[in-house]
Amino acid sequence: MIAAEPPVAEIVVTAPVLPPSPADAAFSVQTLDPKALAAGARVDDALGQVSGFSLYRRLSSLGANPTVQGVSLRGIAGSAASRALVTLDGAPVNDPFGGWVIFNAIPSETLGSATVVRGAGAGAYGAGALTGEIALETAPAQSGDWLLDAEGGSLGHDRVAGVVSQSLGRFVVTLSASQEHDSGWDPIRQGRGPADSNLSLDAWTASLRLAAQLGAADAAARLSVYHQDQGSGEVGVSSRDEGVSFTASAARAPTPGVLGWRAQAWLSASNLANTAAAVTANQATATLVDNEYATPSLGIGGDAALRAVWPSATLEAGLDIRRDEGEDREDYGAVGGGFRDWRLAGGASMVGGTYLEGTDRLGGWLFTANLRADAWRDSSGHESQGPLDGAASLSQAYANRGGVLPSARFGLKYAVNQFLSLRLAAYSGFRPPTLNELYRPFRVGNFVTLANPGLSPERLDGAEAGAGGAWRALSWSATSFYNRLVDPVSNVTLAKGPLTDSVGGFIPAGGALMQRENLGVVIAYGIEADARWDLGRTLDARASVSWTHARVSGAGQAPQLDGLRPAETPAAAATVSIDAALSPRLGLTLDGRYEGQQFVDDLNQLNLAPSFDLDARLNWRAGRRLTLYVFADNLLNLPIQQNQTSASLLSYGPPRTFGLGLTLASVSSDK
């Protein structure tokens, strides 16, 4: 008799990262699970469930230009360059040239969780985590898993995404891809003219991931590419962004007596092309005045860490380094239908740091302390320009600069009982200016912003006090915070049009000439609260609210801004998300987001009214592997102001849109 072969063990691989640090318990942390991530139409929409999360403009990656997809937390001060660090399995995904995040390059179908850490993240997060970190983590992969999602709807919308995993020896290979098209909408509702056109999107992304369990360690390598084309809302004005990234990483979880470790290296390359136009009164004509035909950039870096654990304590030491280089290449100064001049400007930046973090538990107390030091350096800065048909009339090399900045964070948490805990924390962090801020001037309509190669790093000091707990199905947290942001990089108005500038060209009446400057200090204090009522498959309700009082002190550099609110910074925000089972097969998801009044400009003269957006989705589980759904975004069809370019001209987010779709999966899908 032949003995039956033993069953083959299932291979399930997870992201090669260290387990969450015990220190996180002392800070304001919120985690979105796969159900919460699936609730948003795109990753940045899902992250919008965390109040205080914001992109630079009040517009998602559906219509936002790549250069304004900068991520910030807590409403301290918005920035197109990102004042929060975004990582995928520990590797930064912020663009190496501009710091913005291309969310269309990260399909939500590939993610397993998103952890949002509010407050300056000295620790393992390093430079760039000025207002916090958003740690995205890929979903666990198992051989034989697959998913296909397809949807279509109004505004000419269609999207297809797929993920498939298959074992290859001891490895699991995961392929993912997505494609999206939106014919878009005209953002101008009043005062529309012949110069106006749609905000549209064509985007695709693909990735190959190879992962394995190598003994007690997890290892993975990921290669991804993306491309997107966008219509920018004016005739003949568009953007194109493309990139490729590679990450290799390995990690082993620590156990008592055995060190845990993490090591990874990454490389990313991107290239952005943008055009800009000057628009005449009444939106009659849009004349191209700038053709930024390329911004090739390259980012390379790595990090490593060791963690030791004991029954009541941990100790972690680590280091990381990043180097970015890039160049802005453009033709500008249009005269009589053609461009007059060319410009090349760019350079390189490097930042590297090391840290030591420890935690200790004593009874109901948790203590944590972290010390960190980073060296930063800007080098190879240059700018040259000249007539389009001739040699350079200006060629300038900027002096190399650098320094060393210390940072730290300390936390204390006390568990009063199993239902209530209290915590205190203090922290500091910094963000070096991006290559985009240092070297690239840009134009949006009749607003021109000049670069500044003399910018200094931003620094933030803060403290917070919080409480949280859980009782049965309810979990909650509340935090009050105080932050002092020193030398924030801001777009400061130098003069109003009409005027002619040697870099920006002619700026008509209603426009303005601006420049990036380190602007004194921003003082911000506020409160935030999160709650979740989770009854499993029956009901999952989440709510998040925040209020921030942020004011500028120009410190003599810009006294006209003293006491004003930072641009693109709402004082109040609130979100609610409800996932309810109406029957064993039928589910309803509602997501609402409120943002208070905010100003587009530093002078607080261009105002955006408060907004509320409600999205809805009905899921019908038609079979073990098939789910059908219908959705409506901006269900109430409310006008959502997203930008103001003059006292009388407002642009708006998308109107109410409908669509339907299906999900086929090897296992039941929560989408």
490-524 per-position pLDDT tens digit = 888 888 888 777 666 677 777 788 888 888 899 99
- Whether the ω angle into residue 187 lies within 30 degrees of 0, i.e. cis, is no
More confident residue, 337 or 309: 309
Kindly give the pairing relationship between strand 512-518 and strand 447-450: parallel
The rounded distance, in Å, linking the Cα atoms of 667 and 496 is: 59
Question: What confidence score (pLDDT) does residue 341 get?
Answer: 86
pLDDT band at residue 1 using 50, 70 and 90 as cut-offs: very low
Question: What confidence score (pLDDT) does residue 375 get?
Answer: 96
More confident residue, 611 or 393: 611
Question: What confidence score (pLDDT) does residue 381 get?
Answer: 94
More confident residue, 487 or 512: 487
- Judge whether 360 and 312 are in contact, CB under 8 Å: yes
Count the neighbouring beta carbons within 10 Å of the beta carbon of residue 66.
Answer: 24
What is the full DSSP assignment across 594-619?
EE--EESSTTS-SEE--EEEEEEEEE
Closest by CA position to 372, among listed 83, 123, 125: 123
pLDDT band at residue 4 using 50, 70 and 90 as cut-offs: very low
pLDDT digits (tens, 9 = 90+) for 409-452: 999 999 999 899 999 999 999 999 999 999 988 777 677 888 89
Tell me the one-letter amino acid at 52.
G
Q: What is the pTM of this model?
A: 0.92
Instruction: Report the half-sphere exposure of 360 (CA within 13 A, side-chain side).
Output: 5
For residue 3, is pLDDT > 50?
no
Question: What confidence score (pLDDT) does residue 428 get?
Answer: 94
Lowest mean pLDDT among 2-16, 44-58, 272-286, 451-465: 2-16
Strand partners, 639: none
Sign of the torsion formed by the C-alpha atoms of 92, 95, 99 and 105? negative
Closest by CA position to 266, among listed 123, 20, 87: 87
For residue 294, is pLDDT > 50?
yes
pLDDT digits (tens, 9 = 90+) for 365-413: 999 999 999 999 999 999 998 998 888 888 889 999 999 999 999 999 9
Burial class (CB in 10 A: 0-12, 13-18, 19+), 143: middle
Sign of the torsion formed by the C-alpha atoms of 284, 285, 289 and 290? positive
The rounded distance, in Å, linking the Cα atoms of 436 and 452 is: 9
Question: What confidence score (pLDDT) does residue 39 get?
Answer: 72
For residue 8, is pLDDT > 60?
no
Question: What confidence score (pLDDT) does residue 6 get?
Answer: 42
Burial class (CB in 10 A: 0-12, 13-18, 19+), 237: buried
pLDDT band at residue 5 using 50, 70 and 90 as cut-offs: very low
The proportion of the chain whose per-residue pLDDT surpasses 70, expressed as a percent, equals 95
DSSP-derived secondary structure letter, 108:
G
The rounded distance, in Å, linking the Cα atoms of 506 and 503 is: 9
More confident residue, 533 or 35: 533
The proportion of the chain whose per-residue pLDDT surpasses 90, expressed as a percent, equals 62
* Residue recorded with tokens 């907004």: 611
pLDDT band at residue 647 using 50, 70 and 90 as cut-offs: low
Question: What confidence score (pLDDT) does residue 335 get?
Answer: 61
Q: Which residues of 292-302 are buried (b: 16+ CB within 10 A; e: fewer)?
A: bbbbebbbbbb
Which two three-digit tokens encode residue 256?
């008592």
The rounded distance, in Å, linking the Cα atoms of 94 and 126 is: 13
Lowest mean pLDDT among 327-341, 387-401, 562-576: 327-341
The rounded distance, in Å, linking the Cα atoms of 522 and 22 is: 31
Average of per-residue pLDDT across 83-93: 92
Average of per-residue pLDDT across 302-317: 96
- Judge whether 342 and 331 are in contact, CB under 8 Å: yes
Lowest mean pLDDT among 122-131, 202-211, 216-225: 122-131
Average of per-residue pLDDT across 95-115: 93
Lowest mean pLDDT among 65-69, 225-229, 293-297: 65-69
Lowest mean pLDDT among 49-53, 221-225, 298-302, 333-337: 333-337
The rounded distance, in Å, linking the Cα atoms of 213 and 195 is: 56
Lowest mean pLDDT among 19-33, 200-214, 343-357: 19-33
Tell me the one-letter amino acid at 140.
P
Tell me the one-letter amino acid at 581.
A
Q: In sequence order, what are the residues at sequence separation of 6 or more whose Cβ sits closer than 8 angstroms to the Cβ of residue 505? A: 278, 289, 290, 332, 333, 334, 448
For the domain with range 17-280+287-334+343-665, which CATH number is right: 2.40.100.10, 2.40.50.100, 2.40.170.20, 1.10.3720.10?
2.40.170.20
Length of the chain: 671
pLDDT digits (tens, 9 = 90+) for 570-580: 999 999 999 99
- Judge whether 137 and 259 are in contact, CB under 8 Å: no
